[in-house]
Structure 1
């Protein structure tokens, strides 16, 4: 199988990169580490101070 992304539907969020178990998808301009950090921060609960 070959990983293919429909460019017309791509939002550039990187979710497909994180979901691809084979590591066949990359997002230009970001390292895997940067994408995982962004996705991890989205999954963390919001902390409200005050």
Structure 2
């Protein structure tokens, strides 16, 4: 996945409201983007970015 597509992935993830409504913390698009980047860093063998 191109790194430039990460903001779009975060934006689209915010549309999954059923997954967000029960979260005890309000999640923003910026939070989602940070989370995605941390996942990629934590699982480099599975999640790869292209430039």
Compute the TM-score of the two structures, normalised by the length of structure 1: 0.35
Higher helix share: 2
Compute the TM-score of the two structures, normalised by the length of structure 2: 0.35
Structure with bigger RCO (C-alpha 8 Å, 6+ apart): 2
